[in-house]
Structure 1
Amino acid sequence: MPNESPTTRTPVFARRAILRALALSPVAALVPGLARAAAEKAGLVSANVCMLTPETTEGPFYVDPRLVRADITEGRSGAPLELRMQVVTADCRPIEGARVDVWHCDAEGLYSGYADQLGGLDMRGETFLRGTQMTGRDGIAHFTTIWPGWYPGRTAHVHYKVFLGRSETLTSQLFFPDGASEVVYGRAEPYRARETARYLPNARDGIARRAGEGAFAEIAEHGAGYRATLVVGVAA
């Protein structure tokens, strides 16, 4: 881990103990500050840890445009979102040099790169809201994007893949707390102009239910928009 001395480094066994405490302690669940303090002591950027991240379906819209970039917005309208994903091992060691691919729909529910989108629109040749980043020494990949919209049958989500070397290690999805999405959709354009009644809550999205609590990002206000942070545990 960066900027550590032998006296400040958190040993592996200590990280494991912290994870167990976060997973099992009802006090930590009720007092977010305690969970955050424990996560920070372990060198993690979010308290939503304690397990290997579950695999979820890739979905029909993955394409690798080979765009290594942090800003994936390409001018799409929506609430600004900084996405931070920290890739760690099962014993909570950040992984440097992991490749993280992300892709998600825009505020209107459209994916780039595919025909037959909502309203019959053809998005082939477009690359918005797709990109690749490599993790730094802290295991974090950063993306600048917008809060994803929704489309029939799905709640708000971001797809991602993690590669270690040339091997695909994990395909999963990141989700947002319902309350946060409702705030964004109620405040910002172009979300407000859509039929918000069609937004599907997380509890009614089968993929979100199967992914579980560890797939939900921690949300905070950030500048004029928001920051979503997720710790992604992989079998390395």
Structure 2
Amino acid sequence: MPLDPTCRRSVRAGRRAARTRARAARVRRGSGDAKPAPRLRRGSRGKVAPVNQDDLLTRGSGVSRRRALTLLGAAGASGAAAACGGAKTSSNADSATTTAPSTSTSTAQAGGSAGTATTATSTTAPSATVDCVLTPEATEGPYYLDIAKVRSDITEGKDGAPLTLRITVLDAATCQPIKDAAVDIWHCDAGGIYSGFGSASTGGGPGGGASGRTDNLVFLRGTQLTDAAGLVTFQTIYPGWYRGRAVHVHMKVHVDNSVKHTGQLFFDDGLTDTVYQRAPYNARGARDQRNTDDGIVGSAGGASAIAAVTGNGTYTGRITVGIKQ
């Protein structure tokens, strides 16, 4: 069905904006690196085919963050065409309310002999209160990789308790959700190892500077663009621990290719105790740091930096990040 004139103008404007961003990115990289802007693939009926986000993977010196996010912006223009054509859009449950972190509570009954069953339940209920405060910054740590591995499932087969992590990004000044912010997350596996730093990440400690990369692995790392509700969703596993740190996930928020927030989110200690009773976490000894022992927890916002988590065996964590644009 042909588009009405208003929709045609909207689609053309979106495509022009995508081409302009691509040209600007090439100019910033230097004239010697300038190449023609990639054309969007077209389907058999002349419609713009969406860009597959999993095609935008980077390893080492592959696709740059700016390049990957530019391609995603172009894909967004094609989405506008679909919307004008009458396609229905579904709203996310998190778009109705923004959840602030609340304290997780868990109960566990451990048997005293081999073979005795262990039962545990997580009773965290996310709050419906909108959290519009500016989220404090926290150290980037030594294991960040500046890559744009655009994907929602970052597990790469790693063993651990399944965790769906939902992060909402708001403008702290207006309480409005921020669309198209690029959110990076990264964390260690159940054994306390970071991808890219397998032989270097066993030493632990907070650290603020970059560590030398030791491998080309990228498990438990990913980037997503926020939707109209400011939400990104990642499929991952419950993080492990390493010496000198409480259990945490790193995150970084980019808006218009500028870093607006670097921080960390944490988990309730009682919930972590429950999760760590099970394999593969119980193959290690007791962790040496709880939230009260880790000074970064306080500097990152204390209780507000602890994700609201629900579930039992399979978990969903939610947290809101307020940034200054």
Structure 1 length as normaliser, TM-score? 0.77
Greater than 4 Å deviation, 4+ residue runs: none
Matched, 1:156 2:247: yes
Matched, 1:173 2:264: yes
Query: How many angstroms apart in 1 are the aligned matches of 2:268 and 2:254?
Result: 26
Matched, 1:60 2:142: yes
Deviations 1:145-199 (A, max 9, x none): 000000010010000000011100000000111111111001x211011102x34
The one-letter code matched in structure 2 to 1:169 is: K
Contact 1:51 1:214 in 2 (8 A): no
**Where does 1:98-117 land on structure 2 (aligned, <5 Å)?**
98-114=181-197, 115-117=199-201
The one-letter code matched in structure 1 to 2:235 is: T
Contact 1:158 1:173 in 2 (8 A): yes
Q: Which runs of 5+ in 2 are unaligned?
A: 1-89, 102-123, 204-212
Q: Which runs of 5+ in 1 are unaligned?
A: 4-8, 23-31
The one-letter code matched in structure 1 to 2:250 is: H
Q: Equivalent of 2:280, from 165, 190, 200? A: 190
Q: Give the structure 1 partner of residue 314 of structure 2.
A: 225
Larger Rg: 2
SS at match of 1:68: coil
Q: Equivalent of 2:175, from 92, 105, 110? A: 92
Q: Give the structure 1 partner of residue 160 of structure 2.
A: 78
- In the TM superposition, what is the alpha-carbon distance from 1:213 to its structure 2 partner? 1.8
The one-letter code matched in structure 2 to 1:117 is: S
Contact 1:97 1:135 in 2 (8 A): yes
- In the TM superposition, what is the alpha-carbon distance from 1:66 to its structure 2 partner? 2.0
SS at match of 2:276: helix
Query: How many angstroms apart in 1 are the aligned matches of 2:185 and 2:160?
Result: 17
More strand by percentage: 1
SS at match of 1:94: coil
Q: Equivalent of 1:126, from 211, 214, 217? A: 217
Q: Give the structure 1 partner of residue 304 of structure 2.
A: 214
- In the TM superposition, what is the alpha-carbon distance from 1:129 to its structure 2 partner? 0.3
Q: Give the structure 2 partner of residue 204 of structure 1.
A: 293
Query: How many angstroms apart in 2 are the aligned matches of 1:152 and 1:110?
Result: 11
The one-letter code matched in structure 2 to 1:70 is: S
- In the TM superposition, what is the alpha-carbon distance from 1:65 to its structure 2 partner? 2.9
Contact 1:111 1:123 in 2 (8 A): no
Distance 1:194 1:171, change over 3 A: same
User: How many aligned positions are there?
Assistant: 197
Q: Equivalent of 1:146, from 237, 248, 262? A: 237
Query: How many angstroms apart in 2 are the aligned matches of 1:77 and 1:158?
Result: 17
Q: Give the structure 2 partner of residue 25 of structure 1.
A: none
Deviations 1:25-64 (A, max 9, x none): xxxxxxx98x834x2xxxx5xxxx2521100000000002
The one-letter code matched in structure 1 to 2:183 is: V
Deviations 1:131-158 (A, max 9, x none): 0000001100110000000001001000
